[in-house]
Structure 1
Amino acid sequence: MINLRLYSSVSHVTTPIFYPNAKPHLGHLYSSLLCDVYHRWMQLNNAKSLFTTGTDEHGLKIQIESERQKYKTPLDFVNKLYPEFIRLDNFYNISFTNFIRTTNSDHIANVTKLWELCNKNKLIYKGTHKGWYSISDETFYPESKVIKNPNEPNKFINTESQNEVVYQSETNYFFKLSQFQDRLIKFFEENPHFIQPRSKHHQLLNYLKSTELKDLSISRPISRLNWGVKVPNDDSQIIYVWFDALTNYITSIGGISNVNSLEWKNTSHVIGKDIMKFHSIYWPCFLWGAELPLPRRIIIHNHWISNGMKMSKSIGNVVEPIEIGKKYGTDIIRWYVLENSNLEDDSNFVEQDVAHLKELFIGKWGNLINRCCGTKFNISRSVQRFHSENLSQEYNEIIKDDNLRTEVSNLLNSLKELKIVMKEAIENFDYAQILKLIWPIINHTNAIVQISKPWERPELEQDLIIFTCIEVCRILAILCQPIIPNISEKFLDRIDVLPSKRSLSFAEIGSDNNYGSNSNSKGRELPIS
């Protein structure tokens, strides 16, 4: 059994490396956000965390597209496009620690080494391959998954991705994938958390039990594909792009010599459902074929649609991530994407809901902080007075209103429960569960301000109420730093929380005894507008 416990000291999370044959879209951003929040949360826990992303720059699609656009070489083409992925990451504060390009020499060396290890174990042989090949998917499909294109009867498509396929016959190298079928089935049965979510685990297991794995063609003749890594000792063949691309995860930890490191043992691959087969079947077999250990787990997410339909330029419903981020703010989009998605289902982007979300941030959370920072109150004094006290006891002694005491008790219990839920939910990449719990806490805190009317109360009562409400704002801002890093920073700056007191250990009532020194002064900027 794989040990799936959360290591507190080291973690490594990876996006798929993205194909730079066009500019990045919302799906690229989604994968990156899932990883970024996990990475930032681990750092908030003071763990050593690595986060790898990058671009998959070899293959027939790149070769064809570079020729179509009349680039001198495919390298010139990918050199033009890969910065777009870095631009998107920088724009959305995606805090990757490593960006892999498969054209880099260190990666090419690891691809060659992995091939040699599999070959040494007699798992690679030369043979003739006949079948239906999809250039878009960079893979062969069996006859059973090929149909005539209903829109172009003279062409054929596959039933999995609906992309065009063409029949080919050529001499390639093959990997003995069929040899690993029983081992894969046994491994999935004994390690049900290796593939997440559970539905994808069942889907893959059922596939393996009902479909006979065939040996896999892992090279292409250089006469058809010349853009890639050459097969060791055979310049007439180019290594299959997925064998090449998957090896990036080993490159990202420093190469094959580091596969026994904690970074590898605690690696979580985050991928889209369209590349599930390559990561969940091919990748474990390649690693076993080289006698290398597997990563910790594979997280598989679904896709995004727009206004209930698949995104299409002809329909006009394509969401351009940078343009929408400029319009509403990157943190608003980060929150919206994570709150309105789950791993199991396709998610629907509705711009009107994004606009409503921004109004919530301004009207609910931002306004709550503004009210507590009003000139009638004194946050610093309230913090000094109550930071180390038992709030329940203080409320019993100071506040005589039973209903208000009950409301505060319920609020503080919800806040305490949130932190517990967050630890498990982030570990499972279930961010929507968290974000749906935060708004009721904010609304409840606003309601307590309205009910209690602290501006009408004596100083001691006023300070206790303000301390309670601003503590909720402070703790929520700390907890939400992985999700909305810019807005959280602005909220914490507005109430004068020191940068050294923004880690997870300070996300407790009364844990910071010295903030708010200048919060109630006139002329301070609004944290969000």
Structure 2
Amino acid sequence: MNIDHDSTEATTQMKKAVAKVVSHITTPIFYPNAKPHLGHLYSSLLCDVQHRWKLLNNVDSLLTTGTDEHGLKIQLAAEKNGFTDPKRFVDKLYPEFIGLDKFYNIAFTRFIRTTEPDHIQTVLKLWDLCLQNGYIYKGDHHGWYSISDETFYPESKVIKDPKDPQKHINTESLNEVTYQSETNYYFKLSAFQDQLYRYISETDPSFIYPETKRDQLLKDMRANPLQDLSISRPSSRLQWGIQVPNDPTQKMYVWFDALCNYVSAIGGIDTTTTPATIPSIYWKETTHLIGKDITKFHCLYWPSFLLAAKLPLPKRIVIHNHWISNGMKMSKSLGNVVDPIMIGNKYGPDIIRWYLLENSKIDADGDFVEENVIGLRNLFVSKWGNLINRCCGQKFDIQRSINEFANGCSDQKLIQIWNDDVNKEVQLHIISILDQLKTLPVIMNTKVDQFDFSNLLKDCWKLINDANSLIQIAKPWKQDQLKQDSIIFQCMEVNRILSILTQPFIPTLSNKFLERIDVEPEKRTLAYIKLGSDSTYGHNANKPNRNVPLEHSPIEDEFTYHL
């Protein structure tokens, strides 16, 4: 199912699927105070690959995403843009995020908005559970507040702004803070210091991933023990938020509201049971994917809220770094901000998907360099596209080669055909390619789980390059029919199997490749990734005037992306 923003339909369909869904991955929900940027795409893309890989492995999966629509930041952005009603402001902007997802084929299951009724009910239930269990109280608050970050910072993390001594900034995000004094509701965050530290460090060390982020979080917890958290704001200052139950003078802190989306999106909290429950078939396999700038909220606040409500924790929280551009932080003043829609229109969404995945590591910032995108586009044309073009040439007969070698052909037969002193190099290439075709699915399974997409996609390029080298070395156009067919068969199997395996990464382009070589839609699953497991493709692949879906136009000297 592919659900946009109809919460009623979404919840109904999810409840129907509850008996079979066993996996759930979430993006952070995004502030619709401006159009989406490359960082939004990156978070969504990492989740999309995980989600699609699960589906390809015949594991039922959910991918939820959405927009965080309450809070002072939204209220002020709405006012700045001339909107008296913040709801009208977010109504105008949230479709931009859905549009980005659809443009890049992010296969979300539900797009949740925090202004939707079912989400608000979930937030109220969580508040009530924390209150009943004695973890919410009312008190006076004094401190430094950042509107941009929607959080208070301790005195130890506040300095004068070097650019304007009349202002103050925090040392974490470097955003401006102002001193505020008010009466708020508090959450007893300090009560979970020891329990949470033990859980992250001993009980489940895999709860925070990667290890570098977990170790840094534990270090911060030792240096700065958890303090009780202000979880409401006076309605006189914050009008745009969920009202605190039975107190119209207070609105809920935006993070207490926003973090609940992960539960709202899968059916909410069932308070008719004792203790209250979350749909466990989803939750026990839920992975939150977040950017490093919101680690504190997801890894400290959110687990504490759940523990206070006596609700279970998700399976894992994965933290990724950010993107810079040409070696520098993206900035409008520097003119290096990457517009994901514009760059996708220029080179094709699947090329950008592959580029972001191959050129990033989860625990290091990625550097977006447009010249490298051009280089990647050239590689697709000259390496993978060329491999398909070569095999589909009219000098060869793909169907004849499949008839000869598919359906139980042994690796040994393919190797023995070239078993003579003259062709040792060809034989070594064949052995290497056959080995890679066997091991790549296993390697992919491990590296997808580890979000190690960079090394995984480099393994794919190695297989493509080795197949091209095999053609160069073996020169099938000079060989007898049996030798020629053995080379064409193996190289076409590289094209076919790799196109099946890369569907989660380049869903449109990989299927265009499969269409080009006449692979039937029902045979694009992992059931057909063994050598020779499909004997029905390639019937018309050698006919003239059939171009690959990705090609270079020598007339205009531009790339053409056929969709």
Alpha-carbon spacing, 1:396–1:37, altered in 2? closer, same or farther (3 Å): closer
Query: Which residue in 2 is equivalent to 1:481?
Result: 503
How many angstroms apart in 1 are the aligned matches of 2:225 and 2:449? Answer: 34
Match for 1:501: what amino acid? K
**Structure 1 segment 145-164 matched on structure 2, within 5 A:** 145-164=157-176
After superposing the two structures, state which structure 1 stretch, 183-192 or 99-108, moved more: 183-192
The answer on whether the counterparts of 2:351 and 2:377 sit within 8 Å (CA) in structure 1 is: yes
How many angstroms apart in 1 are the aligned matches of 2:412 and 2:153? Answer: 69
How many angstroms apart in 2 are the aligned matches of 1:149 and 1:406? Answer: 63
The answer on whether the counterparts of 2:21 and 2:282 sit within 8 Å (CA) in structure 1 is: no
After superposing the two structures, state which structure 1 stretch, 410-419 or 125-134, moved more: 410-419
How many angstroms apart in 1 are the aligned matches of 2:174 and 2:309? Answer: 33
After superposing the two structures, state which structure 1 stretch, 346-355 or 253-262, moved more: 253-262
**Structure 1 segment 318-397 matched on structure 2, within 5 A:** 318-397=337-416
Q: Paired residue for 2:292, among 245, 270, 273?
A: 273
Deviations 1:141-168 (Å, cap 9, x if unpaired)? 0000000001111000000000000000
**In the alignment, structure 1 residue 40 sits paired with structure 2 residue 52:** yes
**Structure 1 segment 52-451 matched on structure 2, within 5 A:** 52-189=64-201, 190-257=203-270, 259-400=278-419, 401-451=423-473
What SS does the aligned partner of 2:399 have? Answer: helix
The answer on whether the counterparts of 1:177 and 1:285 sit within 8 Å (CA) in structure 2 is: yes
**Post-superposition offset of 1:70:** 1.1
Residue identity over aligned pairs, in percent, reads 60
TM-score by length of 2: 0.91
**Post-superposition offset of 1:212:** 1.9
**Post-superposition offset of 1:415:** 2.5
How many angstroms apart in 1 are the aligned matches of 2:283 and 2:416? Answer: 54
Structure 2 residue runs of 5 or longer lacking an equivalent are 1-19, 271-276, 552-563
How many angstroms apart in 2 are the aligned matches of 1:76 and 1:523? Answer: 52
Match for 2:355: what amino acid? Y
**Post-superposition offset of 1:39:** 0.5
Q: Paired residue for 2:476, among 438, 454, 465?
A: 454
How many angstroms apart in 2 are the aligned matches of 1:211 and 1:526? Answer: 57
What SS does the aligned partner of 1:54 have? Answer: strand
Deviations 1:286-330 (Å, cap 9, x if unpaired)? 000000000110000000000000001111111000000011111
How many angstroms apart in 2 are the aligned matches of 1:40 and 1:498? Answer: 19
Deviations 1:4-32 (Å, cap 9, x if unpaired)? xxxx9621010000000000000000000
**Post-superposition offset of 1:260:** 4.2
After superposing the two structures, state which structure 1 stretch, 81-90 or 389-398, moved more: 389-398
Match for 1:430: what amino acid? D
The answer on whether the counterparts of 2:266 and 2:279 sit within 8 Å (CA) in structure 1 is: no
Deviations 1:449-484 (Å, cap 9, x if unpaired)? 011111111111111110000001111111100001
Match for 1:500: what amino acid? E
The answer on whether the counterparts of 2:234 and 2:251 sit within 8 Å (CA) in structure 1 is: yes
Q: How many residues align?
A: 522
How many angstroms apart in 2 are the aligned matches of 1:271 and 1:495? Answer: 39
What SS does the aligned partner of 1:370 have? Answer: helix
How many angstroms apart in 1 are the aligned matches of 2:257 and 2:58? Answer: 34
Alpha-carbon spacing, 1:396–1:107, altered in 2? closer, same or farther (3 Å): closer
Structure 1 residue runs of 5 or longer lacking an equivalent are 1-7
What SS does the aligned partner of 2:490 have? Answer: helix
Query: Which residue in 2 is equivalent to 1:18?
Result: 30
Match for 1:256: what amino acid? I
What SS does the aligned partner of 1:291 have? Answer: coil
The answer on whether the counterparts of 1:260 and 1:293 sit within 8 Å (CA) in structure 2 is: no
Match for 2:483: what amino acid? E
Deviations 1:244-274 (Å, cap 9, x if unpaired)? 0000000011111261422111000000000
After superposing the two structures, state which structure 1 stretch, 251-260 or 350-359, moved more: 251-260
How many angstroms apart in 2 are the aligned matches of 1:350 and 1:471? Answer: 33
After superposing the two structures, state which structure 1 stretch, 373-382 or 149-158, moved more: 373-382
How many angstroms apart in 2 are the aligned matches of 1:69 and 1:527? Answer: 43
What SS does the aligned partner of 1:256 have? Answer: coil
Match for 2:530: what amino acid? E
Query: Which residue in 2 is equivalent to 1:4?
Result: none
**Post-superposition offset of 1:205:** 1.0
What SS does the aligned partner of 2:327 have? Answer: coil
* Structure 1 residue runs of 4 or more that deviate by more than 6 Å after TM superposition: none
**In the alignment, structure 1 residue 510 sits paired with structure 2 residue 532:** yes
Match for 1:379: what amino acid? I
**Post-superposition offset of 1:380:** 1.4
Query: Which residue in 1 is equivalent to 2:491?
Result: 469
Match for 1:206: what amino acid? K
How many angstroms apart in 2 are the aligned matches of 1:285 and 1:260? Answer: 19
What SS does the aligned partner of 1:518 have? Answer: coil
How many angstroms apart in 2 are the aligned matches of 1:391 and 1:524? Answer: 31
Deviations 1:331-359 (Å, cap 9, x if unpaired)? 00000000000111111000000000000
Deviations 1:500-529 (Å, cap 9, x if unpaired)? 011122112111121111111112132211
The answer on whether the counterparts of 2:415 and 2:431 sit within 8 Å (CA) in structure 1 is: no
Deviations 1:348-379 (Å, cap 9, x if unpaired)? 00000000000000000001001101111111
The answer on whether the counterparts of 2:357 and 2:454 sit within 8 Å (CA) in structure 1 is: yes
